[in-house]
Amino acid sequence: WAPMTLAPSPTQPKMAAAFQTEVALPWSDDTFTRLPQVGSLESLFNELDLRALRGAPKSRLLAAGSISLNQAATLISAILVFVGIYQVQAPAVRFVIVVIASILPWLGSGKRLQENWVNNRLRSELLRSLLASHAFSPPLRPFAAELFVSEIAFLRSAAWKLTGHRREWSEERDRYLKERLDGQIGYLESKGNFAAKHLSRLQVMFRISSLGAMILGAAAILNAIFAQIPAGWVDAVFLKLLPAILPAFAAWSLSMIALFEYKRRAGLYRQLAERLRRKREELAGAKSEVTAANVVSSCERLLLTELWEWSDRGKRR
């Protein structure tokens, strides 16, 4: 499971250059001494975001490779037996492929949610939120602090550094609409459509292969009983080969849907994009700073809720 704001598009968001100079902290904060020493919060965000992208675990891809190899072992073994060559070697070939497939998850087990990667991704997303919304919340009560209690000290220090860069609320509203909401809506819609497209393809593959396996399997049983189809290529292909390999396609497609969470992502990302679109209309029509702050607060809660769930799960592992 990865947070939905993970690895955003390169154009989202574009941080304002005004953040190059921050207000000095009136208190000491050891959190920042452990972070990369850079010139500004914007530079810190970019550095943490880059580290998170580089350190993202590949365990899900390795798991997909393992599943694919297991199904490929079945396909290759069935085809070798069907064509009548390497019938003796077919089990050995399948065994080698299965062994390789079993090694991949083991390699990925050490590359799952590592603490450093979780912290880098978490704080980069918190800074993304803060850089976009800091003007609408008190410095000592940034919006993200409601969810991320363990990061309150980091959030307060970062928010305090930005107090000297607040502009008129209408300017901040327009900046938030363009840099935060428009970027996130576009990103979520693209990811939701991507997930929905892959979900549709895999569901069609599953239905065709599973239904075909059942029909051809039943036909093979009936033919074995009544011997209606003489031995030949029709019998070999439709009553022997396809019933053996179609279940592998069905199992693979169903596994990919579950592994990459295409169904959850397609529904969640599209739903969230639609809710943010409605919030955007509310914010664009706001007539006061209080109204705008309330809408921005609800937007940030929508965007950060799954990040909170993800980070909490990642730190428990």
Q: For residue range 186-199, list pLDDT tens digits in order.
A: 999 999 999 999 99
d(CA 32, CA 151): 12
For residue 270 the two structure tokens come to 């599209």
Higher pLDDT, 83 or 262: 262
Nearest to 312 by CA among 143, 67, 122: 122
The predicted pLDDT at position 240 comes to: 84
Percent of the chain with pLDDT over 90: 42
Contact in structure between 129 and 48 (CB atoms under 8 Å): no
Residue whose pair of structure tokens reads 């909170």 in the numeric block: 308
Lowest mean pLDDT: which of 54-63, 279-288, 302-311? Answer: 54-63
Q: Is pLDDT above 90 for 56?
A: no
- pLDDT of 201-241, one tens digit each? 999 999 999 999 999 989 888 888 887 766 677 778 888 88
- Evaluate if residue 260 carries a pLDDT over 60: yes
Whether the per-residue pLDDT at 94 is higher than 50: the answer is yes
Is residue 21 very low, low, confident or very high in pLDDT (cuts 50, 70, 90)? very low
Is residue 135 predicted with pLDDT exceeding 80? yes
Using 50, 70 and 90 to split pLDDT, how confident is the model at 272? very high
Confidence of residue 110 (pLDDT cuts 50, 70, 90): low
- Say which residue, 202 or 108, is predicted with more confidence: 202
Model confidence band, residue 246 (pLDDT cutoffs 50, 70, 90): very high
> How much is the pLDDT for 300?
96
Q: How far apart are CA 252 and CA 223, in angstroms?
A: 28
User: Phi-psi category of 227—alpha, beta or left, where left has phi over 0 and alpha has psi -120 to 50?
Assistant: left
Select, from the ranges 22-26, 63-67, 84-88, 264-268, the one with the highest average predicted confidence (pLDDT). 264-268
Average pLDDT across the chain, whole number: 83
More confident residue, 109 or 145: 145
C-alpha neighbours within 13 Å on the C-beta side of residue 316: 6
- What local confidence, expressed as pLDDT, does residue 11 receive? 39
Query: How much is the pLDDT for 2?
Result: 47
The answer on pLDDT for 39 being more than 80 is no
pLDDT band at 18 (very low <50, low <70, confident <90, very high): very low
Residues making up the chain, counted from first to last: 317
The residue that leads in pLDDT, 63 or 253, is 253
> The whole model's pTM is what?
0.78
